[in-house]
Structures are given as structure tokens and as C-alpha cells.
Amino acid sequence: MNMIRRERLTSETRALANKPHSGFMFVGRPSAVGNPFVIGRDGSRSDVIGRFEQWFDSDTGLQGEFLRAARYAWKPGFGIMLLCYCHANEACHADVLVTFLKERSK
């Protein structure tokens, strides 16, 4: 059963991330889909996630690049785990990316 989720980056998953069919993809900064909006400078945590969503939704080129990279890292029978620095109990821009991938894999 394939899943699409996100979790906090660890040294173990960092070593696997973005390798073909590893099942792990790094989406924090400075990756192409790292959030360019920063907590504090650009607003609260929920503000910067909202701004990321608008920015990502408006860039079909970036969406295509992200989809290709996610397919590259996708592990059959496992799916994909998106990795960011945020803790699991914090909202994260990667939640936007999880929703995007789920909508495209229906």
C-alpha cells in the first residue's frame, strides 16, 4: 500500500533522500520546493505556509519539476515520505506538497 506523508528529517533519511526509488524526498530549504517565506520575517508559521501555497499553486513549472522529482524518489509498495526540518506536530509547507501529490495520484 503506497502512502504519501511527511516527517521530520533525520540523518538516516537525509542519506536516502532523492535517490531513485528510495521513498524519501527532501523538501526543505534549499531544495526547489523549500519554503522561500520565512517565519518571523514573512509572518507567522501559518502565514508562511499560506504564502507558500499561493506561490506553489501559481507556478506550474515548479509543480512539474516537483512531480518529476517525487516520481524519481517514489518507492513502489511504499510510496513517498517528504522530509523537512519541522517537527511532526508542527504545521509545515510540506503538508501543501502532500496534498498536491495525493490529488495527482488519485
Quickly list DSSP for 1-37: --EEEEEE--HHHHHHTTSTT-SEEE-STTSTTS-SS
Q: How many whole angstroms separate alpha carbon 90 and alpha carbon 78?
A: 24
Q: How far is the CB of 49 from Zn ion (least distance, A)?
A: 8
Task: Give yes or no for residue 48 binding Zn ion (CB under 5 A).
Answer: no
Q: Which of residues 67-106 bind Zn ion (CB under 5 A)?
A: 84, 86, 92
3-state DSSP assignment of residue 46: helix
Q: How far is the CB of 66 from Zn ion (least distance, A)?
A: 15
Nearer to Zn ion, 73 or 84 (CB): 84
Interface with Zn ion by CB under 5 A: which residues? 84, 86, 92
